[in-house]
Chain A
Amino acid sequence: MVEVLLRRVLRTIPVLLGISALVFVSMRLIPGDPALIYAGDQAPGELVAKIRVDLGLDQPLVSQYVIFLRRAIEGDLGVSIRTGQPVAAELMRRYPLTLLLATAAILFSVAVGLPLGILAAVNRGRWLDKTSVVIALVGVSAPTFLVGIVLQLALAVKLGWLPVTGSTSWLHLVLPAVSLGAFPVANITRLLRTSLLEVFGEDFVRTARAKGLPETLVVVRHALKPALIPAVTIIGLQFGAMLGASVFAEAVFAWPGVGRYLVAAIGYRDYPVVQGAVLLLALTYVVINAAVDVTYGRLDPRVR
């Protein structure tokens, strides 16, 4: 176990280095000059050239990268080209909000996906099975932004039940979380259904049934726990996916998280912000993946 953990940690370092290098290089490959974008289309050419120098953009790439790495280790992620604000502080302000959104979304998915999955497995082959699956699949069959916009229109504007945007209260979290949480529902439902069906075929379940135990008891007490094991890993992975997908919900509902910040920064070629945000998200992914792998290893008796 320790060896596995150690290997994971050791692997993290090259991964993070790889990501930072990849982001660094590719951002600079994208056509588009941050000094130019910062200056806008009305600034004269000489001014733009001066800005480039001030931003240190005329230095050779390698030295720019080294400077970036050195500062990053100290916790200094640089300063946004567009606003002059320190990137680390900005990210720390937004990161909890994205985490919050992803968490709320995954809670919603689980709250919907779990019962649907159980319903489907228990009623296998009958219409309740198919209906549950179809309901679950809707979330993954339409893009998040469309779900968000339609929900916003229906529930916030037309019906006025919920606020349109903002991040100051519990109510503000509902629509973005539901929009974002719609797509993992499908995978959770499907996986739980399949997993439960597999468990139903196990001997111990057959035994329980043969004993004449009521079906609900069979399901809940005996079948559910082992069936949940692979579901846990899926939930972990979907949480990671949601960090990336959060940008769509953040855009529609003006949720001030990292996703929105990152996308805007890409548009502005705001290198420090993109580098910092990607590193942060990547670190989160890596941690989540490691946690999922380790948890799965501990939970699944077959792997041991």
Chain B
Amino acid sequence: MATALVPPPQAAPEPGRRWWVQLRRDHAGMTGLAVLSLIVAAAIVGPIVTPDDQFQPNLQQTFLPPGGGHVLGTDQLGRDLLARVVAGARASLLSGLAALAVSLAFGVPAGLVAGYSGGRWDDVVMVAVEILMSFPGVLLAFLAIAVLGPGQQNVVLAVGLASTPIFARLVRGSARAVREQEYVMAAVALGATPSRVAARHVLPGCLAPVVVIGVLRLGTTIVTIAGLGFLGMGGDPARPEWGAMLSQGQEFLRRAPHIALVPGGAMLLTVLSVNLFGDAVADALNPRVLSRRAHRGG
């Protein structure tokens, strides 16, 4: 599984003013946002509009190529691929977001404690981080599924847990730098309790990189969940989730490539959009990066 960028451990300086203006000028990022919005819209609206028996097997219509009555063709059980891939958008996006939420829920507090408190807490958290990072993600997923039972929730949990150390390290680094800032020291001097200082003063300073990495991580998570499906994680084989569709479809790559390529393409498009937008946000928020005008002027 890919690890994201680990910025140097220092305070994130204030983003330049009017970062959102710069963001808007980033065409690729805006395109990404637009596509993403379309996909999200489809994910929300799609399953309501398409009737449920789109997911019933129809053995007279198996392996139809794209075109005609079925715009994207049908799969090995005769189900319409367009309907399934749209329904899959919802499942895959939700899974990715859920996994991300898990990572943040565990990683951010852990990193905060480690970075702000330092000392023994720091050691404890960092050892835990190293243990998790040294654990092959494949095994983690297997364990989660095997112990908790097959199904999407447990794959999500496993993938979320596997990404936790990244955020923990990130927040720890930022927290360590932020706690040296004057306004934090001032708060301490004024008698604020450690937890209050941590939550109200340190945490906000750590959030910018978390947002950036989080957005970027979303794409990776979606892809990883699909990869785990390839290794046979079980669950309901009929579920219209991109990873499941992909792993079932790759068997038929010679005979009917569209069965795998349609969900694969959808995933590619989605993750690409997420990444493009995420990159644009990262660029805009990073003040050390010259604005376009300054760069060109040179």
Contact = CB atoms under 8 A, between A and B. Distances in A.
- Chains A, B in direct contact (C-beta < 8 Å): yes
Interface of A: 11, 14-15, 18-19, 22-23, 26-27, 29-32, 124-125, 130, 133-134, 137-138, 140-146, 149-150, 153, 183-184, 186-187, 190-191, 194, 197-198, 200-201, 206, 209, 230, 233-234, 237-238, 240-241, 243-245, 247-248, 251, 259, 262-263, 266, 274, 278, 281-282, 285-286, 289, 300, 302-303
Given A141-B267, A282-B135, A285-B133, A183 B127 contact: no
A244 B163 CA distance: 13
B275 A140 contact: yes
Please report whether the interface of chain B is mostly helix, strand, loop or mixed according to DSSP.
helix
Given A18-B127, A302-B10, 16 more contacts: A15-B131, A22-B131, A23-B139, A29-B147, A142-B268, A143-B230, A144-B227, A186-B2, A200-B290, A230-B8, A234-B3, A245-B137, A262-B136, A262-B139, A281-B136, A282-B134
B2 A187 contact: yes
Interface string B58-73: 0000000000000000
B168 to A, nearest CB: 14
B186 interface: no
Given A278-B135, A303-B8, A200 B147 contact: no
Given A259-B138, A278-B139, A281-B134, A124 B295 contact: yes
A237 B290 contact: no
5 shortest interchain CB distances as A-B pairs: A30-B146, A141-B271, A282-B134, A285-B134, A130-B28
Contact of A125 (B227, B286, B292, B298): B292
Contacts of A146: 226, 246, 250, 260, 264
Interface in B260-292: 260, 264, 267-268, 270-272, 275-276, 279, 282-283, 286, 288-290, 292
Contacts of A29: 143, 146-147
B126 interface: yes
Interface of B: 1-10, 27-28, 123, 126-128, 130-131, 133-139, 142-143, 146-147, 219-220, 223-224, 226-227, 230-231, 243, 246, 250, 253-254, 260, 264, 267-268, 270-272, 275-276, 279, 282-283, 286, 288-290, 292, 294-296, 298
A244 B126 CA distance: 20
Contact of A140 (B147, B219, B250): B219
18 contacts: A11-B127, A14-B127, A15-B127, A124-B295, A125-B296, A133-B28, A134-B28, A137-B275, A141-B275, A142-B223, A149-B250, A187-B4, A200-B290, A230-B7, A240-B133, A241-B1, A247-B138, A251-B230
A266 B276 contact: no
A138 B136 contact: no
A134 B6 contact: no
B5 A241 contact: no
A281 B133 CA distance: 11
Contacts of B137: 244-245
A198 B130 contact: no
A197 B290 contact: yes
Nearest to A25: B143
Given A15-B127, A278-B135, A130 B27 contact: yes
Contacts of B227: 143-145, 248
Interface centre among B134, B243, B250, B289 (most CB of A within 10 A): B134
Contacts of B131: 15, 18-19, 22
Contact of B130 (A153, A289, A300): A289
Contacts of B136: 243-244, 247, 259, 262, 278, 281
Contacts of B294: 201
